Amino acid sequence: MKKNSDLYDFTQNLGGQVFFAAFKTHISQEQRDDWTNRPPVMNIKRGYAESPGWMMVQAQEFAPEALTVERFRKRAVYSAPELTLALLELLASEQYFDRIGEAYHLTDKGQEAIEKSTRFRMTAFDSFEPIDADKIDKVVAYMGRIIEESLKADNPPGTWCLVHSRNRAPDDSAPPLAKLLQFSSDFNSFRDDAHMAAFNKHNVEGHVWEAFSYVKNEQANNASSLYENLAYRGFYTEDWQTALDDLTGRGWIMPGGDDYAATDKGLAIAKEIETLTDGYFFAPWSVLSNDEYDELIAIMQLLSENCQTLTT
């Protein structure tokens, strides 16, 4: 498997497959019900970065520092500040945070919610072995070496997101697959470090870059369709039109009536940023020898296949 965005996507899908397989086959119905029956506020926009659930994850990554709109958006660069503030205020109204000035501090209730999630992961993965234990230990060891090497990365890309992600890392006594799930999150964090470093070279705001990506990939071609696809980010049609105007001024897109398309210059920029992102992200993987890399991929594929079998 080549070291490109497909491999990164595989690391993310694998984490989800392992979690779902453990959830469906390894824990009791009572435990599943306890996890599923969350407070209603935690089901709002579930699965999105712009959600109460992800806000709580970020609170854990920043602890003991308080959350602010600015801190949250240093990583969630695609999210509108107004929506970020609204989510923090919503969670404060539910007593997960207490606000002091512009800073949102976890309450006892908020801390307990985080600890409950951590305990669930430990329970869900305890003695869960969809493949042989020695193979699980090996893949976790390989991933751990990559993450340790990633933490040594120069700036750019830097390790701001990754360092905060590691604040959630379980201790050495945790089940191996709980560590693997955290490594999947760590890969996501370092990919954010790499990608933001790549497109920030062009001094472009996050939501403007996302607008360009949607136009380039022909997922949206005007402000209205950007809003239809990306309303969950908290930006509105007028914001997306301003983003399109910015991109037009850069020569990355060109208008044709009410619609827009990427220019050759824009496509070249996109290719440059994709290559740079992969370069930053996969540089630490060189800590593995070719044989070790091949073994890592083979075990990851086996783990993926067995988890899929367990859930079908």
Is the predicted pLDDT of residue 275 greater than 90, yes or no? yes
How much is the average pLDDT of 214-243? 98
Instruction: Look at residue 257 in the predicted model and tell me its pLDDT.
Output: 87
Rounded Cα gap, residues 62 and 67, in angstroms: 7
pTM of the model: 0.95
Task: State what percent of residues in the chain have pLDDT above 70.
Answer: 100
**Rounded to an integer, what is the distance from CA 185 to the centroid of its chain?**
6
Domains along the chain with CATH numbers: 1-25+128-312 (1.10.10.10), 27-127 (1.10.10.10)
Is the predicted pLDDT of residue 280 greater than 90, yes or no? yes
The tokens describing 266, both together, are 């824009």
Is the predicted pLDDT of residue 235 greater than 90, yes or no? yes
Q: Of how many residues is the chain composed?
A: 312
CA dihedral 223, 227, 230, 234 (to 10 degrees): 110
Instruction: Look at residue 121 in the predicted model and tell me its pLDDT.
Output: 86
Q: What pLDDT, in 10s, does the model give residues 34-76?
A: 888 889 999 999 989 999 999 999 999 999 999 999 999 999 9
Is the predicted pLDDT of residue 147 greater than 90, yes or no? yes
User: Exposed (0-12), middle (13-18) or buried (19+): which is 64, by Cβ within 10 Å?
Assistant: exposed
Instruction: Look at residue 37 in the predicted model and tell me its pLDDT.
Output: 87
